[in-house]
Amino acid sequence: MKFAIITDVHGNFDALEAVLDDIDSRNDIETIYNLGDNIGVGHETNKVLDAIFDRDDMEIIAGNHDEAIMSLVNDTPYPEDLKDKFYEHHQWIESHLDEDYYDRLNQLPRKIEKSINQRKLLFIHYEISNDKLNTPIDGIPFSPIVEPTENNMTQLFSDKDADFIAFGHNHTVHLFDDKSTIDFNPGAVGLNNGSYAVYGIVTINGNEIDVERVKVPYDNEEFLRGYDEKQVPGKDLIFDKFL
């Protein structure tokens, strides 16, 4: 069995399109697991949602930006940890979000669990301790980001029972496959990689799990110009920290 992992598209349709085209060209990817943060930071919100919700082969979970933006839609408390950085930007995203997607975004789960060839697989945006899996986003359920070391990953996910854990949120690659539980973050599709989009391919053959990170070149100039053309709030922070 072979599947793909994408995460942190962050409103960058051009990067997402490059990744999906590469996945489709392979003709051997059975499922795409999308680990959240599809909207926010980037400005191509509805184009991204059109692309992901139109596919029959994609399973999707929620990220913290997805949930924070939906808190504005739902008129529920907004998370304090994002207020200083993203509140105005998220308001802008919410004002441009097609209401046809409200229900689907609200219904996204926070994790997906699978069992393949007696191997337990967990797909999650980032660690949420088991006692916070139902905590609303304003309760800050996602654990603080830790440095991507093998020891930190073991401690971070110590309450999870899985042979393979795929996650996103921290936009840099993590691959720790030399221990009993494989931890893998392919990096953000839409941010932090310049003119490349990234994703992961996982192959399960018997009890063996093989992981590959794929980098796909794409033209990011139109995406970058869009911040000025659309007068996107928060551009300075976004360019400084994420692009």
DSSP of 11-36, one letter per residue?
T-HHHHHHHHHHHHHHS---EEEE-S
Q: Could you list the residue range(s) of the whole structural domain that residue 178 is in?
A: 2-241
190-205 per-position pLDDT tens digit: 999 999 999 999 999 9
Residue 35 confidence class, pLDDT cut points 50, 70, 90 = very high
Across the chain, what does the average pLDDT equal?
96
pTM above 0.85, yes or no: yes
**Distance of alpha carbon 143 from alpha carbon 159, whole angstroms:** 12
Span 134-161, mean pLDDT?
96
**Distance of alpha carbon 193 from alpha carbon 130, whole angstroms:** 32
Q: Which residue has the tokens 């018997």?
A: 206
pLDDT computed for residue 179 by the predictor: 80
Residue 243 confidence class, pLDDT cut points 50, 70, 90 = confident
74-99 per-position pLDDT tens digit: 999 999 999 999 999 999 999 999 99
pLDDT computed for residue 115 by the predictor: 95
Q: Tell me the CATH number at 114.
A: 3.60.21.10
What's the number of domains the chain is made of?
1
